[in-house]
Structure 1
């Protein structure tokens, strides 16, 4: 579904691929959540909580930034910022909104971390197997919507309260992992659709992080997609249900040469860039068409 913008669209960006610049030092890996959208150029900023609009005519022209570690660099020349709402301060979101940036918060919806501020709210019987490579994290039983919905709703409200206008739901593919629960494709589909509906009820634009096998089924429910390494994994074509519907696809690679992979991803209509896995402020974006 195409949504008309409530403000003028942002001005175009440079079409050159930027040289790889110096990398900033990493800070501890951020947990749970990330960023939300903001208004366009020369118009009043959209008030906190207002859902981000994604004009169809700009679907293939966005530039974006994904930062989870280090102090947020509010000067990056990107239309969209994906951030951790717990670590990101209100002063940082205000500075970005003053620059008419769209802000998206990242929330881990299918996993639990013992360090989360709301960790005690998850019932013990909803906690499953450990998440590989993430000490202190466990998969959640996404069939337990009655137990999970109040916690996730408050996470979404945190995003909205800090001025984010969109939410990107992460770890929304437990059915593909050994979670300790007999989750199947349909269990995950039902959960993810509930998340999209919950975001809309709370005036947030919903986005899907990865979960590529379900993109064809979920593209009608979500407003945008966030993808990691579709080039390396050779699965970029599976994201076309979003691009073909004029919905943004925010894509990142962690290896390779942008001058090589941009040919594929920009051709598909994605907003692509090269990043370090630590997701600090450094980025090397693809040129726009």
Structure 2
């Protein structure tokens, strides 16, 4: 808070000068204007509040985060990353990516998105040991070493997510891809999280994540969770979909295109995607079509 205090002191001086200049009469003589202390204190308090937020503390002003380009996507979360070719956007893992890599992408004109797992925790995460045991739930089906988080009590690990968001920003990322924002849906199947999560739990948690990302000047996207589009479309900045063509939920994200927000639609080779069928559909919807390996460990192919 010291910088804000200093800013307030400078504001007080600037405000006094402003009033002297405005009220100096045309006779050229200097007159001292007795500005009421109560109004000065109010002015300094309000202006200090504005300075505090413009300095990146607290909630950022509306639209104070970058626009995600609607262009070719390189989505890779592990392995050596090769960004050669016509790449406009890259999405990579927070912990696997260095600040130097992000700087290189900036220099190449590539928009960097930071992948964060917000609905589950992985044993190999640098901060795994910081999560309270009580919020770590059942294994995430199909992914060894990954377990669901109790998002209904996200206040118990919110500080960890805030540190992750801070690290994204410090490394130079411009946006967030929050993974597993559909945890409540698992509790409607036999792949239970262990916490009996509800839709309202999910929306409340995602709303907090959106606020935290935007407060840091970071864009944030919707990852899958088609049923939540009505709740999120006005606050999210882009969408990233997995297997939307295969499972038939592309229609749910047309509203993103209508609001000029990019949609990146990924289909997996291991799931038998046919590029000759998928790519024309992606173009028809106005989506950026991407064909990738499910491990996300190598360079994907963008639809022409």
Instruction: Tell me what 2:86 maps to.
Output: 77
- Aligned mates of 2:145, 2:292 — CA distance in 1: 26
- Unaligned 5+ segments in structure 1 are 1-49
Say how many residue pairs are matched. Answer: 233
Alignment pair present for 1:175 and 2:184: yes
The answer to which structure has the higher helix fraction is 2
Alignment pair present for 1:225 and 2:239: yes
Per-residue CA deviations over 1:93-141 (Å, capped at 9, x if unaligned) read 1211111110001100011122211112211111111111222221111
Instruction: Tell me what 2:263 maps to.
Output: 249
Structure 2 counterpart of 1:202, from 209, 216, 221:
216
| Structure with greater Cα Rg | 2
Assess if the C-alpha contact under 8 Å between 1:83 and 1:105 holds in 2: yes
Alignment pair present for 1:140 and 2:149: yes
SS in 2 for 1:282: coil
Structure 2 counterpart of 1:131, from 140, 164, 185:
140
Assess if the C-alpha contact under 8 Å between 1:229 and 1:251 holds in 2: yes
Assess if the C-alpha contact under 8 Å between 2:95 and 2:125 holds in 1: no
Structure 2 counterpart of 1:258, from 253, 275, 286:
275
SS in 2 for 1:143: helix
Structure 2 counterpart of 1:239, from 221, 243, 253:
253
Q: Greater relative contact order: 1 or 2 (C-alpha under 8 angstroms, separation 6 or more)?
A: 1
Instruction: Tell me what 1:163 maps to.
Output: 172
Alignment pair present for 1:98 and 2:112: no
Q: Which moved more, 1:152-161 or 1:141-150?
A: 141-150
- Aligned mates of 1:65, 1:172 — CA distance in 2: 21
Assess if the C-alpha contact under 8 Å between 1:258 and 1:284 holds in 2: no
- Aligned mates of 2:90, 2:167 — CA distance in 1: 17
Structure 2 counterpart of 1:276, from 275, 284, 293:
293
TM-score normalized by structure 1? Answer: 0.77
**How far has the Cα of 1:282 moved from its partner?**
2.8
Alignment pair present for 1:286 and 2:303: yes
**How far has the Cα of 1:51 moved from its partner?**
3.4
- Aligned mates of 2:297, 2:143 — CA distance in 1: 19
SS in 1 for 2:152: coil
Alignment pair present for 1:267 and 2:275: no
**How far has the Cα of 1:216 moved from its partner?**
2.3
- Aligned mates of 1:245, 1:196 — CA distance in 2: 18
Assess if the C-alpha contact under 8 Å between 1:74 and 1:95 holds in 2: no
Assess if the C-alpha contact under 8 Å between 1:216 and 1:238 holds in 2: no
**How far has the Cα of 1:76 moved from its partner?**
3.4
TM-score normalized by structure 2? Answer: 0.73
**How far has the Cα of 1:172 moved from its partner?**
0.9
Assess if the C-alpha contact under 8 Å between 2:210 and 2:236 holds in 1: yes
**How far has the Cα of 1:179 moved from its partner?**
0.7
Assess if the C-alpha contact under 8 Å between 1:52 and 1:102 holds in 2: no
SS in 2 for 1:213: helix
